[in-house]
Structure 1
Amino acid sequence: MKTKTLAMKTQRPHSLKILAVSLLLSVIASSAQETGSLPTVTMAANNSAPGQDLFVSEANGSVAKISPDGAQSIFAAGMKRPLGLAVDRAGNLFVADGFSATIYKFTPDGAGSAFATNIYSPFALAFDSAGNLFATDDYGSVYVFNPDGAHSLFASGMQHTSALAFDSAGNLFVTDSGSASNDAHIYKFTPVGAGSTFASGLDESYGLASKSAGDLFYSDYLTGDIYRFTAEGQQSTFASGLNYPDGLAFDGAGILYVADPGSGNIYKFTTDGARSTLASGLNGPTFIAFAPNTAPVDTTPPTVTVTTGDSSAGENDLNAGWFTISRTGDTGAALTVYFTIGGTATSGSDYQPLGDSVSIPAGAVSADVVVQPIDDSEAEGTETVVLTLSSNAVYMLESPSSATVTITDNDTLPVLTVQVTDPNASETGPDPGTFTISRSGDTNSDLTVYYTFGLGGGTASYGTDYQTVPGTAGNPLPYSVTIPASATSVAVTVVPIDDDEPEPSETVVLTLYPDYAHEAYKIGEPANATVTIADNDPVVTDPTIRAGNLFVSDGSGRGNIYQFAPDGTRSTFASGLSGGLAFDQADNLFVAAGDIYKFAPD
C-alpha cells in the first residue's frame, strides 16, 4: 500500500495561528454577513412507526425521512443544499448544508439549530466511537468537532474530500475525488492519526461505508458501480448498473442502502448483491444516514445453522475449504457460536487447528471457519473434517447443524497384494500355513490393512478348524493388521486345530478388503490367496461294508462277527466278541467290545 504524506493536526480546539485557515474563516464570515441570516428551516412531525428510519438529503434543500416500510415524509426543509448526514448515539441528526457554510443539528423530536457555522462548504459527516463529529470541506480538509462544538483541523493537503467512513477498529477512511477521471483516492487514518493511501486510480465518489465485518464499500459516481474493498485493499465489483450513485449506508442487519440521484431512488442490496427498491420519486437524493433502531428489542434467541461454503480442500495446492455458520434474527451484536470437530482427518497434522468457536460480527449474518490443509508426505487418501454445532443458551440450533469438508491427499497411495508363502497346513503338529500381505510405495508410516476370510471361498471354519495370528476371535469384520513403518509386508498365520473328526482336506481363503473410511491404499492383484489344511483322522466311508462284504456283529450272546458275501453266503469272521464295527482306509477292521480290537485284512 502506497503512503501519502498528509498534513495532520491533533484533535484540539481550533487555533487561529493557522494562517491559511484563519483567512479562510474570515472570508466565510464576511460572506455570511453579506448574504444575511441563516435560512429558515421547517420541520415535519417525527411520528413514524418504531424502527430504523433512513434520512436522505435532497437537491431541493430538504431532508426526507423513509420509514422501514418505505413510507416517505419531509423531516426538514428550507436549507440551501443539504449534503452529508450523520446521526449520533442520542439520535440527533447532523446535516452539512454546503451552500450556507453551516452544520445543522436536529433532535429526534425535530427541533433544529445551527451546530457550527462559517465552515467553508461542509460536505461529508461521520461520527467516531467517542461521539466526535468529523466533517470535510470541499477543498481537501477534514475537521473534528467535539460534542460541545469546539473544532480543530484533523487533516489537510487533499483536493476534494467528498466522503467519510469509520471502520469497527476506529480507522477513518476519506475519499478524495481528485481533479480528473481516475484521480480519486481513498486515504486511511489510524486512530492515532497516521495517514496512508488505501486505494487509488478511482473515479469521483460521494459514497463510502464500512461494514462491521471489515469490508469497505465505495460508490463510483461516473461508472455507476459499487466497489467492495477487503481490509487488505483487494477490490471487487459488488453491484453495477446504477445511475450516478452517491451516498451509502448499512442498516443494523448488514443490508447496504444506496442513494441513486440519477433515478431518484433508494436501493437496498442484500449481502449477496440482490437489489430491490426501498423508495422512489426523490429529488436528487445524495447522502443517507440511519437513525438508531427504535423497534422493540427482539428477545427471541437467534437460530444458527452450518453449511459448507466450499466442501473440497486439497493438499495439492493447499486449497482451503470452509464452513459457513449463519444466523437469523437480530444482528445488532456479535454472536459467538460454539462447535466440535470430528472426522477422519487429524487437527494439527492434516489441517490447521480450528478452535471450538467463531464470532459472527455485529451487523453480519454469517462467519466462515476455514479448513486449511497441511501438505504432509504421508499417503492417506481422502479424509474428512466434520463440524457439528454445539448447543448454547444464547442461540438455537436448526438443521443443518453439521457439515463436512473433505481433504484430498496428493501423495501416491500404496498398492496391496496378498500371496501364500506357506500354502500347506496340517492338523499334525499342528503345522501352520502363512499368508503375506505386501505393500508398494512409501513405507514411512504404519499402514493398517483390512481383510476377510471366506469371501473368495474356503471350506474350513474359523474357531473349529483353525485359528490365526494375529487373532481375530471376537473382532468385527473386516479383520485388520498393521504393516509397521519401514516394513513392506506383514504375515497372517493360519494355525490348524487338531480335532478328532475325520474330514477331507479343507481350505482357508484370505481376501483383501478396501479401506472405505480412509482410502489409504489401493488393492492390486492377487487380492486373495489360499492355505490348505490336511486332516490327520481316519476317514471311513461305511463302517460295515468292505469289498462288497457285509460284516455284522451278533449281540445275541453268541459273541460272533459274521461276514456275508455278496451272494448272501454267511461265514464267521471272528468269535468270542461283539460290538461296534469300523474299517479304516487300509481295510483294518476295528471292533469296540470293551476293548478295541483290530483285525488285519487277512
Structure 2
Amino acid sequence: MRSLLLPKLLVGGLLVSSVAACTSDDDAGRSGASQSPGSSASSGPPTQGGGTGGEPAAKAPGAGKPKYTGFSSPTGLAYGRDGSVYVSNWSAGTVERITRDGKRSVHVKGLQAPAGLAVDRQGVLYIADYNADVVYRAPAAGKLEKFASGFHTPTGISFDSRHNLLVTNRASNELMSVSPDGRSSRVADELRTPVGVVEAADGTIYVSNYEGGVLSRVTRDGTVETHSKDFDGLGVGIVADKAGSVFVTDRTAGAIKRVARDGSITSVLTGLSSPVALGIDAEGHLATATWGDSAYYEIPS
C-alpha cells in the first residue's frame, strides 16, 4: 500500500493534516486514482474561496457540535429503510452502520476506497469503490457482492425512479445508469469531473461537478445543461427533498447549500470542516459527514 497525501490530505482545496488515504501501487498510473473523490486531478487544487456560492455564509447557522466522531475520511452517507445510517470510511476501506439508538458497527470491510452509497427499495446497500472501479452490493453485514464493474473512478451513486442505479464516472466525465440486473449504459458525457448525482421528484437528474463549481442538469436524452454555478468545490454529497430542492456539499466553502428549482443558492449550514457526504432520511432530515474533523452532523431543519 502507498500513502497518498502524507502528512497532509488534499480535500477540495483544503489541506488537512489529520487524515491519510491509501491506494495500491498499481493504481498510481490511473487518472484520478491518487486523488480524493472531489479533488482536481488535472490542474491541482482550486483557489480557495474562488466562487460566490450564492447567499453569504454568515446568514446560515453554524455547524455546532457533531453527533458522532472518529470516522476515517467519511465520503458517502445513506439511510436504510429501518432508519439506520451508513457512512463510508474512504481511508479505512469500511462502511459503518449506525442504528437509530446510536449503536455503531463495521457493516462491511475490505474495500479499496469506498465513496458514494445508496440503498435500494428492498433496503440493500450499494457501494461505489473508487479505486476498484466497481460498485458492490452488501445484502447483509459482512457480505459483499460485485454488482457492476468497468467504471472509471465511480464516485457518487443514487437510485432513480425507475430503480436504476446512477453512477458518476469521475475520471471519464460520464454519468452511467445500471439496470437492476447489472447492465450498464451511458446517460451523459462531457461533464466536468462529476462526483455526485441525484434524481429530483420531478424526474430531473442533477450532477455535481467538481471542476468549475457547476451543478448540471441532465435531460432524458443526455443533454447536459448548467443549472447553477459559482460553488467553491462541490462534493460527493447531493440529495433532493420532496419539494424539489436540491442540497449539496460545498466543501471548500465548508457549507451545505440548497439549490432551488430556479437555480438560486442559499446556505443552510456553515462552519463545517470540509463536508463531503450528505444524506436525507424518509422524513426529510439532513445529515452530513466531514473530512476535516472526521465527524457526522445533523442539519437543523
Task: Settle same-fold status: TM greater than 0.5.
Answer: yes
Deviation of 1:199 after TM superposition, in Å, equals: 1.0
1:158 aligns with 2:147: no
Question: Equivalents in 2 of 1:191, 1:80: separation in Å?
Answer: 30
Give the letter aligned to residue 176 of structure 2.
Y
Aligned match of 2:111: 119
Contact 1:131/1:147 (<8 A) preserved: no
Give the structure with higher Rg (CA): 1
Query: Cα distance 1:147–1:213, how it changes in 2: closer, same or farther (>3 A)?
Result: farther
Question: Equivalents in 2 of 1:143, 1:229: separation in Å?
Answer: 25
Aligned match of 1:175: 168
Deviation of 1:274 after TM superposition, in Å, equals: 2.0
Q: How does 1:448-597 map to 2 (within 5 A)?
A: none
For 1:369-404, what per-residue CA distance to the aligned partner results, in whole angstroms no more than 9, with x for missing partners? xxxxxxxxxxxxxxxxxxxxxxxxxxxxxxxxxxxx
Query: Cα distance 1:233–1:279, how it changes in 2: closer, same or farther (>3 A)?
Result: same
Deviation of 1:69 after TM superposition, in Å, equals: 7.9
Q: How does 1:145-224 map to 2 (within 5 A)?
A: 145-178=138-171, 183-224=172-213
Give the letter aligned to residue 265 of structure 2.
R
For 1:81-105, what per-residue CA distance to the aligned partner results, in whole angstroms no more than 9, with x for missing partners? 1111111121111011011111100
Aligned match of 1:100: 92
For 1:17-54, what per-residue CA distance to the aligned partner results, in whole angstroms no more than 9, with x for missing partners? xxxxxxxxxx8xxx9xxxxxxxxxxxxxxxxxxxxxxx
Question: Equivalents in 1 of 2:202, 2:83: separation in Å?
Answer: 24
Contact 2:201/2:241 (<8 A) preserved: no
Aligned match of 2:231: 242
Q: CA RMSD in A?
A: 2.3
Within the candidate set 263, 271, 276, 1:286 is matched to: 276
Structure 2, gaps ≥5 residues long? 4-15, 20-59, 286-301
1:130 aligns with 2:119: no
Query: Cα distance 1:235–1:202, how it changes in 2: closer, same or farther (>3 A)?
Result: closer
1:230 aligns with 2:219: yes
Contact 2:61/2:269 (<8 A) preserved: no
**TM-score for both structures, normalised by structure 1:** 0.36
Aligned match of 1:45: none
Aligned match of 1:343: none
For 1:284-332, what per-residue CA distance to the aligned partner results, in whole angstroms no more than 9, with x for missing partners? 011200133189xxxxxxxxxxxxxxxxxxxxxxxxxxxxxxxxxxxxx
Contact 2:201/2:243 (<8 A) preserved: no
Contact 2:201/2:242 (<8 A) preserved: no
Question: Equivalents in 2 of 1:126, 1:70: separation in Å?
Answer: 27
Give the letter aligned to residue 83 of structure 1.
T
**Higher relative contact order by CA 8 Å / sep ≥ 6: 1 or 2?**
2
Question: Equivalents in 2 of 1:231, 1:287: separation in Å?
Answer: 26
* Aligned sequence identity (%): 28
Give the letter aligned to residue 150 of structure 1.
K
Within the candidate set 245, 258, 261, 1:255 is matched to: 245
Give the letter aligned to residue 70 of structure 2.
G
* 2:212 match: secondary structure: coil
Contact 1:214/1:230 (<8 A) preserved: no
* 2:127 match: secondary structure: strand
Question: Equivalents in 2 of 1:159, 1:173: separation in Å?
Answer: 14
Give the letter aligned to residue 75 of structure 1.
K
Question: Equivalents in 1 of 2:257, 2:284: separation in Å?
Answer: 22
Query: Cα distance 1:130–1:114, how it changes in 2: closer, same or farther (>3 A)?
Result: same
Question: Equivalents in 2 of 1:72, 1:256: separation in Å?
Answer: 23
For 1:530-572, what per-residue CA distance to the aligned partner results, in whole angstroms no more than 9, with x for missing partners? xxxxxxxxxxxxxxxxxxxxxxxxxxxxxxxxxxxxxxxxxxx
1:264 aligns with 2:254: yes
Question: Equivalents in 2 of 1:157, 1:71: separation in Å?
Answer: 38
* 1:202 match: secondary structure: coil
Contact 2:136/2:144 (<8 A) preserved: yes
Deviation of 1:136 after TM superposition, in Å, equals: 1.1
Aligned match of 1:80: 72
Question: Equivalents in 2 of 1:157, 1:273: separation in Å?
Answer: 33
Query: Cα distance 1:260–1:85, how it changes in 2: closer, same or farther (>3 A)?
Result: same
Query: Cα distance 1:291–1:75, how it changes in 2: closer, same or farther (>3 A)?
Result: farther
Structure 1, gaps ≥5 residues long? 1-26, 32-58, 62-67, 296-602
* 1:223 match: secondary structure: helix
Query: Cα distance 1:194–1:202, how it changes in 2: closer, same or farther (>3 A)?
Result: same
Aligned match of 2:13: none
Q: How does 1:27-42 map to 2 (within 5 A)?
A: none
Contact 2:63/2:270 (<8 A) preserved: no
For 1:546-600, what per-residue CA distance to the aligned partner results, in whole angstroms no more than 9, with x for missing partners? xxxxxxxxxxxxxxxxxxxxxxxxxxxxxxxxxxxxxxxxxxxxxxxxxxxxxxx
Contact 1:175/1:185 (<8 A) preserved: yes
Give the letter aligned to residue 223 of structure 2.
Q
Question: Equivalents in 2 of 1:254, 1:294: separation in Å?
Answer: 12
**TM-score for both structures, normalised by structure 2:** 0.71
